[in-house]
């Protein structure tokens, strides 16, 4: 392995890393937003919308991100909607992630026993107050492991962004390999940058998990 | 004594199954009514109807002169005045003991945190749990959790307290500590409706016994008379299940 090559590739990879992280996190923020809204719709069994959410979750959970991105990137212009590759990546990741987040948050909400609602009601609490103070905090601490797993999964999914010509880490690596045949160096940097992206998330996730679940479940 | 709770011709069914069939009851302020009866006779459902946790098909439940109807808005206002303690304690697992007892007073009665905490600590002290204020429910024994659940209900200053088989899930040695707390409440002249299978406790605490069977009030009267010479065959048969005889 040529360290000189590594050094010369570093700026390109750093740039790609920052872009990947940026789009990744925007997509993840979007996925949380979608996840909460859709999980609430299903939990409260809001008519009509519940059906739409079910359809959305099945559609996006059961198709690969790559195909979703192709549809958004190449399909939307066909109907006159043109979006940049960056917006497309973030929205695609958000929609895919949203379907996973919906189910994870919903499973937490459904896991809180109904008697918790009844005991809060019998204290005179309104439905809103009991949801905010009793149900949601418990649901989230149940969901945390699933949410962290989703987060890591989504960050790894960013590697398909290259398919819609986003200059992300994967794109940069493939490009450099194609141009200069320094396969080993490019792949080493690719792996290192992905670890750099994910390891802190993984560690932070474990800490959050520990903190969020201690109250209810102990060590 | 003045009337605090009145139940008129209450009927409750789950689909085809009639669970409560024309129940009438008037409870006076300060009265302790113990409800006994075989499993599935509708005791718990009766308490749940009083607290508006179940919709009723016919009749009405009145707290003072207000009708409790879960189908209408504002049931939460009535529930403020009715404290309920469940068999399975059902403390909020993500909150400390102190938070469990002060959440509703702050959110519902809009009391100040310091003020609510001060009262909660006094009440926790009274049930011997002030030192556990910062513990989470999972760290407590069943009996301790149930005592906290009683304090949580008392913190709302309810006009009437409902106890739904509060010792049924406890180990025998923990039953006593919970029942002592309830006996203490009776001494304070609190109005209570108690569903229990602890006959010795029922005998000791009740001003009045209500014997339910098949969704109907079979006997309603003086505890001494009920336990010593029940009027009906059904009550006799029920009470005989608590006696053991080798011969």
Residue B46 contacts residue B222 (beta carbons within 8 Å): no
Chain B closest-CA separation from residue A132 CA (Å): 11
- From chain B, the residues in CB contact with A217 under 8 A are 138
CA pair distance B191, B202, nearest whole angstrom: 15
Alpha-carbon distance values, A70 to A75, A78, A161, B218 (Å): 7, 12, 10, 73
Minimal CA separation from B79 to chain A, in Å: 5
Nearest Cα neighbor of B1 from B39, B27, B33 is B27
What average pLDDT is seen over chain B? 91
> Which residues, 6 or more positions from A87, have their beta carbon under 8 angstroms from its beta carbon?
none
What ipTM was predicted for this assembly? 0.89
Contact predicate B127/B147, CB 8 Å: yes
Question: pLDDT tens-digit profile of A73-122?
Answer: 888 888 888 888 899 999 999 999 999 999 999 999 999 999 999 999 99
CB–CB contact A119 B84 (8 Å): yes
Distance, CA of B29 to CA of B40 (rounded, Å): 28
Predicted local confidence at residue A197, as pLDDT: 92
Residue B206 distance to chain A (closest CA, Å) = 24
Contact A125 B108 (CB under 8 A): yes
Confidence band of A213 (pLDDT split at 50, 70, 90): confident
Task: Nearest by CB to B76, from A118, A126, A133: name it.
Answer: A126
pLDDT in tens, B33-64: 999 998 888 899 999 999 989 988 889 898 98
Question: pLDDT tens digits, residue range B13-30?
Answer: 988 888 999 999 999 999
- Angle, helices B142-154 vs B97-107, to 10°: value is 20
C-alpha torsion sign, points B74, B80, B81, B82: positive
* Shortest Cα–Cα distance, A36 to chain B (Å): 20
Which pLDDT score is estimated for A20?
Answer: 92
Query: Chain A within 8 Å of B103 (Cβ-Cβ)?
Result: yes
Half-sphere exposure (CA, 13 Å, Cβ side) for A129? 18
Distance separating alpha carbons of residues B56 and B37, to the nearest angstrom: 21
Per-residue pLDDT tens over the stretch B155-211: 999 999 999 998 888 888 888 889 999 999 999 999 999 999 888 889 889 999 999
Q: How far apart are CA A63 and CA B82, in angstroms?
A: 52
CA atoms within 13 A on the CB side of A78: 6
- What are phi and psi for residue A132, nearest 5 degrees? -70, -45
Chain B CA closest to residue A138: B94
Q: What is the mean pLDDT of residues A193-216?
A: 90
- For chain A, the domains span 3-217
Interface of A with B (CB under 8 A): 113, 115-116, 118-126, 129, 133-134, 137-138, 141, 215-218
CA distance A215 to chain B (A): 5
Of A119, A215, A217, the CB nearest to B86: A119
Residue with tokens 């993500």: B94
Q: Do B108 and A124 touch (CB under 8 A)?
A: yes
Q: Is any Cβ of chain A less than 8 angstroms from the Cβ of B83?
A: yes
Q: Is B57 left (phi over 0), alpha (psi -120 to 50) or beta?
A: alpha
Quote the tokens at residue A150: 């989703």
Cα nearest neighbour of B139 on chain A:
A218
H-helix or E-strand spanning residue B192: strand B192-195
3-state SS class at B26: strand
d(CA A197, CA A151): 12
A115, A129, A215 ranked by CB distance to B88: nearest:
A115
Contacts of B93 in chain A (CB under 8 A): 138, 215-216
**Is residue B117 over pLDDT 70?**
yes
Alpha helices per DSSP H over B36-171: 43-50, 75-80, 97-107, 113-126, 142-154
What's the pTM value of the predicted model, to 2 decimals?
Answer: 0.87
SS3 B58: strand
Flag whether residue B153 sits within 8 Å of chain A, measured between CB atoms: yes
Q: Which CATH superfamily is domain A3-217 in?
A: MetI-like (1.10.3720.10)
Beta-strand relationship, B32-36 and B208-213:
parallel
């Amino acid at each position: 392995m040529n360290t000189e090559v590594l050094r010369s590739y570093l700026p390109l990879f750093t740039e790609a890393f920052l872009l990947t992280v940026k789009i990744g996190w925007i997509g993840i923020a979007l996925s949380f937003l979608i996840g909460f809204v859709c999980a609430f719709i299903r939990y409260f069994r809001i008519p009509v919308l519940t059906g739409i959410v079910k359809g959305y979750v099945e559609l996006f959970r059961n198709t690969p991100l790559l195909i979703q991105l192709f549809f958004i990137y190449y399909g939307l212009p066909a109907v006159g909607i043109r979006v940049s590759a960056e917006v497309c990546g973030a929205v695609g990741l958000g929609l895919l992630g949203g379907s996973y987040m919906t189910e994870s948050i919903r499973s937490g909400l459904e896991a809180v026993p109904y008697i918790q609602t009844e005991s809060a009601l019998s204290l005179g609490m309104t439905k809103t107050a009991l949801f905010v103070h009793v149900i949601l905090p418990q649901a989230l601490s149940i969901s945390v492991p699933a949410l962290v797993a989703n987060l890591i999964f989504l960050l790894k999914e960013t590697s398909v962004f290259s398919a819609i010509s986003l200059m992300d880490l994967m794109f940069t690596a493939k490009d450099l390999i194609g141009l200069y045949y320094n396969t080993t160096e490019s792949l080493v940097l690719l792996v290192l940058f992905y670890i750099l992206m994910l390891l802190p998330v993984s560690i932070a996730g474990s800490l959050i998990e520990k903190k969020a679940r201690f109250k209810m479940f102990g060590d | 004594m003045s009337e605090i709770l009145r139940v008129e011709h209450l009927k409750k069914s789950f689909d085809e199954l009639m669970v409560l069939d024309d129940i009438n009851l008037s409870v006076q302020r300060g009265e302790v009514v113990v409800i006994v009866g075989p499993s599935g006779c509708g005791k718990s459902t009766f308490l749940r109807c009083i607290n508006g946790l179940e919709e009723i098909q016919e009749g009405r439940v009145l707290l003072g002169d207000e009708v409790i109807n879960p189908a209408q808005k504002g049931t939460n206002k009535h529930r403020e005045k009715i404290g309920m303690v469940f068999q399975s304690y059902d403390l909020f697992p993500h909150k400390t003991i102190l938070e469990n007892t002060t959440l509703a007073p702050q959110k519902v009665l809009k009391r100040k945190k310091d003020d609510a905490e001060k009262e909660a600590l006094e009440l926790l002290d009274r049930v011997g749990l002030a030192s556990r204020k910062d513990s989470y429910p999972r760290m407590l024994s069943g009996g301790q959790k149930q005592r906290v659940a009683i304090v949580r209900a008392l913190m709302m200053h309810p006009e009437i307290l409902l106890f739904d088989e509060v010792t049924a899930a406890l180990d025998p040695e923990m039953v006593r500590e919970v029942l002592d707390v309830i006996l203490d409440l009776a001494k304070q002249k609190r109005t209570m409706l108690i569903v229990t299978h602890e006959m010795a406790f029922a005998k000791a605490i009740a001003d009045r016994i209500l014997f339910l069977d098949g969704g109907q009030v079979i006997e309603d009267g003086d505890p001494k008379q009920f336990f010593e010479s029940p009027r009906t065959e059904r009550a006799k048969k029920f009470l005989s299940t608590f006696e053991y005889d080798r011969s």
